Amino acid sequence: MPLSLFDLPQREPSSFIGFSGNRLDRQSEKRGDDAVDLALADPKARMMLISSGRLLLKLNGAGFDPHFGVSEIDGWGGDRAGAVLLGVDSVGPVLALASTIDIDSLPDGMKAIDFRSVYAQGLLDSERAGAMAQGISLVTWNATHKFCGRCGSETRAAAGGYKRVCPGCGAEHFPRTDPVAIMLAVSGDRCLLGRGRHFGAGMFSALAGFIEPGETIEDAVRRETLEESGIRLGRVAYHASQPWPFPHSLMIGCFGEALNEDIQADLTELEACRWFDREEVFLALEGKHPDGVFLPPRAAIAHHLIRAWAEAG
């Protein structure tokens, strides 16, 4: 039987990773310049509110609710004209907005929790965590692109927050998504893991770096691995991707076939870099490594790259 282009596992590897569960209907073809106004006029519209790197959450029984009705946020919602339209779910439109609320004096029953904690502690279900990622990236991009990069005039948001238009020169600016390659170099029964200088004690992970303009994903994987570890890669295979809203990256996870094994780590970027055999990786995944080595949590794409390789052996 010939190999099919779509001869893939039933569930895409990306779908197991944090921030991948966003199921909002983005309706990207329907985003007119009045998209935010129309959405806000819908009595079923709900907002996700962002303030100083935190998401505002309502305590809701045992869990957290990230949605606020438009009427609920009178007085502290911020400039509604600056809202971005994330999409529509079975209830109605969902928007995201930079709130002006003072997070040190929140009303009872509300919390402002930093994005990484919301993600790492699994405070939202997969769909809402995915929508949060979309909201963080878009609100951040709008907040940091208020002036035209061509002529310096003040820009205005359009198309539901997916575009900024310059009244001075007519330029249109679009949201950024910055691609990052994250890769697991493998050599027979071993894989290459590194320790970044900012990692918690004992943690190792896959190497990663930004893809540069004019570069293919595969070339970026080979370049970054060589620069960081001295390991040359041959074949590169895509595995999965993960939206990473800090602030607007897309992690692209790949495997790379190592052509040499003598590591020459770039110790300005890495504190350590070494080969791990499969047995050692399983011990680290299970939290039983004798030296206390551990790997990124299940929400992280690195975890899935490493686990997928280990379990394929």
Check binding of 81 to Zn ion (CB under 5 A).
Answer: no
The least distance separating Zn ion from the CB of residue 80, rounded to whole angstroms, comes to 25
Contact assessment for residue 12 and residue 253, using Cβ atoms and an 8 Å cutoff: no
CB of 102 to Zn ion, least distance (A): 34
Q: How many residues bind Zn ion (CB under 5 A)?
A: 8
Stretch that binds Zn ion, among 40-48, 141-149, 271-279, 295-303 (CB under 5 A): 141-149
The answer to whether 250 and 206 have CB atoms below 8 angstroms apart is no
Stretch that binds Zn ion, among 49-57, 94-102, 112-120, 143-151 (CB under 5 A): 143-151
Question: Binding to Zn ion by residue 151, rule CB under 5 A?
Answer: yes
Is 169 or 267 the residue whose CB approaches Zn ion more closely? 169
CB 159 within 8 A of CB 141: no
- C-alpha torsion sign, points 275, 280, 286, 290: negative
The rounded Cα 107 to chain-centroid distance in angstroms is 30
State yes or no: residue 166 binds Zn ion (CB under 5 A).
yes
**143 scored as a contact of Zn ion (CB under 5 A):** no
In the list 150, 176, 197, 288, the residue contacting Zn ion (rule: CB under 5 A) is 150
Q: Does 158 bind Zn ion (CB under 5 A)?
A: no
Q: How is 98-115 classified by DSSP, letter by letter? A: E----TTSPPTTEEEEEH
Q: CB-wise, 26 or 163, nearer to Zn ion? A: 163
Cis check for the bond before 247: say yes or no (omega within 30 of 0). Answer: yes
Partners of 148 in beta bridges: none
38-46, 90-98, 144-152, 302-310 -> range binding Zn ion (CB under 5 A): 144-152
User: Which one among 40, 106, 171, 283 touches Zn ion, defined by CB under 5 A?
Assistant: 171
Coil, strand, or helix at residue 136? helix
Four-CA torsion 289, 294, 300, 301, nearest 10 degrees = -60
Distance CA 140, CA 137 (A): 5
Residue (165 or 283) nearer to Zn ion, CB: 165
Q: Which two tokens stand for residue 145?
A: 């692109």
In this chain, which of 81, 120, 169, 267 binds Zn ion, going by CB under 5 A? 169
| 195-224 binders of Zn ion (CB under 5 A) | none
Q: Cβ(119)–Cβ(174) under 8 Å?
A: no
Q: Which residues bind Zn ion (CB under 5 A)?
A: 148, 150-151, 153, 166, 168-169, 171
